[in-house]
Amino acid sequence: MPVRHGERPDHAEEAPMTHDAPTSPSTTAPTPATPVVVAPLRVASVPAGHPYVRSLLDPLDASRRVVHLADPLPDPAEPSRWWPPVVLDAAWLRAHAPEVDLLHVHFGTESYPTDHLVAVVEALRDLRLPLVYTVHDLTNPQLVDQAPHLEHLDVLIPAADELITLTDAAADEIEARWGRRPTVIAHPAIADPDAELPVGAPGAAIVVGVHLRDLRPNVAGVETVRTLLAAVEALRATGAAVEARVDLNERVRDPEQADRIRELVRAAGPWAALAEHPRLTDAELERSLADLDVSVLPYRHGTHSGWVELCWDLAVPVAAPRVGHTAAQHPEPGTTASFDLDDPASLAAAVIALVSPHAVDETADAHDDPARVPASRRGTPHRAALQQQRRSVRRRQRHDVAAAHLAVYERALATVAAVTA
């Protein structure tokens, strides 16, 4: 059952007020109103330095109603590393409680055993600090054995004063499994909404690619490449000009799997290419993705995907395996199509759907709808126009996401205050 906390009256929300001084007969004008300044809500995010967490603040909000406390460094010699998260520790919370209004957990729980998280929850209860938990992952992409992560979910989901997740589909699953309905707040932009983005090099061939990065535990590298190559070969057999591209980091977690991937691509023929390179910078990754007509996700398990969001920002269609809820992030026609990881025919069908003109909405037949729109092909004016439209959406979304989080935080604070009121 949910863990509730005691009252912290010093953090109760205070409505802005103004007070006018009484006017004497000799006063020619009233004393100027003096607004009561509401102190910023100090959120200890786990982790504050993650790009997703940074994107939750609206850069145009001058009020700074919410501030994210900086991540304490686990090792000052590595200033870019936030893990294991120092904030997610009972002793740290007890020592720094006067500096914190609320703890918001996103990522990094895999750094600790379950009893460590239980101690964190108990410390929050003792300190009367609210806990907000965003359920990004119902399975942890960094782990093969999911048992520890499931134990963590069984601690944090019941204990949190407020829950957030990214899609209605994930909220449905959480409610079915734990009996609690999270607030759904869509994933914000990955690419900078104020920046011009690459549209890719134009070309007649349909380029279908997969980025395997460093082959982390939830990436089915060999299986995805095998399915991709078979799907492209089947499409080429119909006369379609289709090419496959596989991207792989030079440094990987599974060298044996990388060797098998190299062998598969070499055996496929000149229409398949393997690009091995150092870890791409953000700008390099955007250019690499923009040169694709379809980006294939290589996940064997997962829940949500920041990759889907980056592809949406770049207007690159995504073929997503039927795992988790990635397809629910952007289900609009021409944006995401699903396939089965072990079924090349289903991937070929997904590619055809994504590179073909599509109806404006799912209720219309793409072949009968006179308003159907072209696919977002690399290097085309349509992709550039679609990017521009989506940048406008993302700019509006920044405010909406920040406001939605503030509302969640205020509810969490009210819940804590009400326990001992």
- What domain range includes position 237? 206-379
Answer yes or no: do 163 and 85 share one domain.
yes
213 and 179, same structural domain? no
Asked if 207 contacts 275 with a C-beta cutoff of 8 angstroms, the reply is no
Claim to verify: residue 140 and residue 79 sit in the same structural domain: yes
DSSP 255-321: HHHHHHHHHHHHHH-TTEEEEEESPPPHHHHHHHHHT-SEEEP-BSS-S--HHHHHHHHHT--EEEE
Q: What single string gives the DSSP state of each residue in 323-345?
A: STTGGGTS-STTTEEEE-TT-HH
Which of the four pLDDT bands, split at 50, 70 and 90, describes residue 420?
low
Are 73 and 151 within one domain?
yes
Question: What is the CATH number for 254?
Answer: 3.40.50.2000
DSSP letter, residue 141: T
Instruction: For residue 369, name the pLDDT band (cuts at 50, 70, 90).
Output: low
Q: Which two tokens stand for residue 17?
A: 């007020």
Query: Can you give the pLDDT at residue 358?
Result: 83
Q: Is the pTM of this model over 0.85?
A: yes
Which pLDDT score is estimated for 11?
A: 34
Q: Are residues 153 and 43 in the same domain?
A: yes
CATH number where 59 lies: 3.40.50
pLDDT level of residue 28 (50, 70, 90 thresholds): very low
**Collapsed DSSP state (helix, strand, coil) of residue 239:** coil
CA–CA separation, 25 vs 361, rounded Å? 69
Strands 41-46 and 102-105 turn out to be parallel
Residue 128 inside a domain? The answer is: yes
Q: Do residues 319 and 220 both lie within one domain?
A: yes
In this predicted model, what pLDDT tens digit does every residue of 351-368 receive, in sequence order? 999 999 987 654 444 445
Please check whether residues 165 and 253 belong to one and the same domain: no
Does 83 map to a domain? yes
Cis omega (within 30 of 0) on the bond before 84?
yes
Q: Give the Cα separation of 56 and 180 in Å (integer).
A: 23
Is the predicted pLDDT of residue 33 greater than 60, yes or no?
no
Task: Give the model confidence (pLDDT) of 159-195 as tens digits.
Answer: 999 999 999 999 999 999 999 999 999 999 999 999 9
* 245 belongs to a structural domain: yes
- Give yes or no: residues 367 and 218 share one domain: yes
* Tens of pLDDT, residues 216-263: 999 999 999 999 999 999 999 999 999 999 999 999 999 999 999 999
Domain membership flag for residue 132: yes
- Reduced to 3 states (helix: H, G, I; strand: E, B; else coil), residue 248 is strand
Whether a cis peptide bond, with omega within 30° of 0, leads into 317 is no
Of 3, 2, 12, the closest CA to residue 411 belongs to 12
What pLDDT shows up at residue 371? 60
Supply φ then ψ for residue 287, to 5 degrees: -65, -40
Average pLDDT over residues 329-348: 97
Q: Are residues 229 and 354 in the same domain?
A: yes
Q: How far is CA 405 from the centre of its chain?
A: 15
Position 271 pLDDT exceeds 60: yes
> Is there a domain that residue 94 lies in?
yes
User: Does the residue 27 lie in any domain?
Assistant: no
Mean of all residue pLDDT scores within the chain: 91
Domain count for the chain, please give it. 2
154 plus 106 within the same structural domain: yes
Is residue 290 a part of any domain in this protein? yes
Do 144 and 282 fall within a single domain? no
Answer whether residue 414 is part of any domain: yes
Considering the domain architecture, whether residues 104 and 226 belong to the same structural domain is answered as no
Q: Residue 421 — very low, low, confident or very high, per pLDDT cuts 50/70/90?
A: low
